[in-house]
């Protein structure tokens, strides 16, 4: 039997004592290195050799340890938009400044955060909120404030972006300082601004991991091959921000892309390189499916749905009836929906980015494509003024009809 400390720390294990800061002096200069003693409860997962599907057993254990940090913050509080109870936010400036829980964590000063449908859905429908109060928000960009002593991928002052997991309230992006493990912290490509980088953590990374990790789409190479050589890929919801990245990444991997969007976003979808655009205005899903099949015939082997439970089965029906095919319903699918035997249904879990250190390579590849100028960013609608504008931005996302624009809140 092996015991392993679980990451991220469970909701009920946030530090109870954040204490003694001892400024160390070295010669004439302060090293900016402080000793922080933390004491907190963690759940220790007992891994057994049993193959039964029963839930793991967790046992509470108190852990005390000493952590070294490099950085310059001496703050004890910060501003945060906190979900205080079901469906209710409060903007406060007395939220605890984060404490590192291990030597591989990074605290980032938030300069811009991207808003996503999951942010309002989780609060309106009360899911992905392990406890109250909680801080939500899944993507951001900023400047490294401080790092644990084992952090090697970045240092205080670096411009970075990250993608976070809701299980750790310290990683919620609707606060001034966001605390995450180092493997999830990426440098911002040199020519990219904070607002653009704040969109990489959800839509861009989801598109990348969906294609490269789950749908078995080869990562783009620089070697010449015929456009469309890999066959057809369908994106239902091509003008959504995630759809925009999906189209471009699929094109970069030599797929012919069929995209479904409305007439008013046709120009945008065309500009991203979609080969065949099916507009949805006044058409039933069956009529859209007929259009898709008339283009792709039996050669569509990949499909991504970004719309919802009504369109997911039609996406699946568009796939080849004979060739091995892959489908990712990113906007949910009804339980019990029939899946053809040649189709592999993928449940995309973006928490894998945080839980699996090797997933960093997907974010690095995204950075490389951006630096090479091979990824167009969505048109941004930037709300200046900081966390106080998040709720207004979430209402805009909820209302929809953004015509492919991405809402970003700037902390300036």
Kindly state the smallest distance separating residue 207's Cβ from ligand NAP, in Å: 8
Please tell me the total number of residues recorded for the chain in this structure: 412
Q: Which residue, 91 or 355, is less far from ligand NAP as judged by CB? A: 355
d(CA 140, CA 114): 6
Q: Give min distance, CB of 398 to ligand NAP, in A.
A: 9
- Using alpha carbons, select from 228, 249, 232 the residue that is nearest to residue 303: 232
Closer of 177 and 236 to ligand NAP (Cβ): 236
Q: How far is the CB of 327 from ligand NAP (least distance, A)?
A: 13
User: At closest approach, how far in Å is the CB of 224 from ligand NAP?
Assistant: 31
Nearer to ligand NAP, 110 or 239 (CB): 239
Closest CA to 132 of 78, 88, 179: 88
b or e along 334-345 (b: 16 or more beta carbons within 10 Å of the residue's beta carbon)? eeeeeeeeebee
DSSP 8-state class, residue 403: T
Of 82 and 394, CB closest to ligand NAP: 394
Task: Write down the least CB distance from residue 141 to ligand NAP, Å.
Answer: 17
Are 207 and 249 contacting, i.e. CB atoms less than 8 angstroms apart? Answer: yes
The smaller minimum CB distance to ligand NAP, of residues 198 and 331, is found at: 331
List interacting residues with ligand NAP (CB under 6 A): 116-118, 202-203, 206, 236-237, 239-243, 260-262, 264-265, 280, 306-307, 311, 330-331, 348, 350, 397, 400, 402-404
Task: Check residue 323 and report its DSSP letter.
Answer: S
Among residues 46 and 264, whose Cβ is nearest to ligand NAP? 264
11 burial (CB, 10 Å; 0-12 / 13-18 / 19+) is middle
Q: Which is nearer to ligand NAP, 91 or 345 (CB)?
A: 345
Tokens of 350: 């973006």
> Closest CB to ligand NAP among 18 and 266?
266
Q: Are strands 2-5 and 380-384 parallel, antiparallel or unpaired?
A: unpaired
Burial class of residue 391 (count of CB atoms within 10 Å of its CB; 0-12, 13-18, 19+): middle
Indicate the residue among 117 and 187 with the shorter CB distance to ligand NAP: 117
Smallest distance, ligand NAP to C-beta of residue 213, A: 12
In angstroms, what is the minimal distance from the CB of 305 to ligand NAP?
A: 8
CB of 295 to ligand NAP, least distance (A): 16
- Specify the pairing of strand 325-329 against strand 343-345: parallel
**Rg, C-alpha atoms of the chain:** 22
Minimum gap (Å) between residue 240 Cβ and ligand NAP: 3
Q: DSSP letters of 257-307?
A: EEEEE-GGGHHHHHHTT-SEEEE-TT--HHHHHHHHHHHHTT-EEEEEE-S
Helix (H, G, I), strand (E, B), or coil: what is residue 389?
Answer: helix
Q: Which residues of 292-324 are buried (b: 16+ CB within 10 A; e: fewer)?
A: beebbeeebbbbbbbbeeebbbbbbbbbbeeee
- CB of 185 vs ligand NAP, minimal distance in Å: 19
Tell me whether residue 25 or residue 282 sits nearer to ligand NAP (CB atom): 282
Least distance to ligand NAP, CB of residue 409, Å? 15
Contacts of 215-223 spanning 24+ positions with Cβ under 8 A: 215/302, 215/304, 215/326, 215/328, 215/346, 216/326, 217/249, 217/250, 217/253, 217/255, 217/302, 218/253, 219/253, 219/365, 220/249, 220/252, 220/253, 220/254, 220/369, 220/374
Between 210 and 325, name the residue whose CB sits nearer to ligand NAP. 210
- Indicate the residue whose CB is closest to ligand NAP: 240
């Amino acid at each position: 039997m092996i015991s392993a400390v679980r990451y991220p720390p469970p909701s009920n294990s946030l530090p109870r004592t954040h204490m003694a800061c001892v400024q160390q002096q070295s010669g004439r200069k302060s090293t900016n290195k402080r000793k922080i003693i933390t004491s907190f409860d963690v759940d220790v997962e007992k891994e057994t050799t049993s193959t039964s599907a029963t839930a793991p057993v967790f046992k509470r254990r108190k852990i005390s340890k000493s952590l070294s940090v490099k950085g310059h913050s001496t703050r004890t509080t910060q501003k945060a938009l906190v979900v205080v109870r079901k469906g209710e936010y409060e903007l406060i400036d007395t939220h605890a400044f984060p404490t590192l829980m291990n030597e591989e964590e990074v605290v980032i000063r938030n300069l811009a955060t991207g808003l996503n449908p999951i942010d309002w859905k989780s609060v309106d429908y009360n899911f992905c909120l392990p406890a109250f109060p909680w801080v939500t928000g899944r993507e951001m960009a900023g400047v490294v404030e401080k790092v644990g002593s084992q952090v090697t991928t970045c240092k205080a002052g670096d411009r970075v972006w990250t993608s976070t997991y809701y299980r750790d309230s310290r990683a919620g992006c609707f606060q001034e300082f966001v605390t995450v493990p180092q493997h999830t912290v990426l440098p911002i490509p040199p020519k990219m601004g904070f607002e653009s980088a704040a969109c990489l953590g959800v839509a861009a990374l989801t598109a990348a991991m969906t294609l490269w990790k789950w749908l078995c789409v080869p990562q783009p190479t620089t070697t010449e091959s015929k456009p469309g050589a890999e066959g057809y890929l369908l994106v239902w919801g091509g003008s959504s921000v995630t759809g925009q990245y999906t189209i471009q990444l699929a094109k970069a991997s030599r797929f012919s892309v069929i995209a479904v969007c409305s007439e008013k976003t046709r120009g945008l979808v065309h500009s991203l390189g979609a080969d065949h655009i099916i507009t949805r205005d006044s058409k039933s899903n069956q009529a859209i499916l007929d259009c898709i099949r008339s283009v792709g015939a039996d050669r569509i082997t990949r499909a991504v749905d970004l719309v919802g439970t009504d369109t997911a089965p039609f996406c699946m029906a568009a796939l080849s009836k004979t060739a091995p095919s892959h489908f990712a319903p990113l906007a949910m699918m009804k339980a019990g929906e029939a899946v053809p035997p040649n189709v592999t249904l993928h449940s995309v879990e973006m928490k894998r980015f945080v839980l699996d250190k090797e997933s960093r390579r997907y974010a690095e590849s995204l950075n490389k494509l951006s630096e090479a100028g091979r990824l167009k960013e969505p048109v941004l609608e930037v709300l200046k003024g900081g966390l106080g504008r998040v709720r207004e931005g979430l209402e805009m996302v909820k209302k929809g009809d953004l015509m492919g624009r991405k809402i970003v809140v700037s902390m300036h």
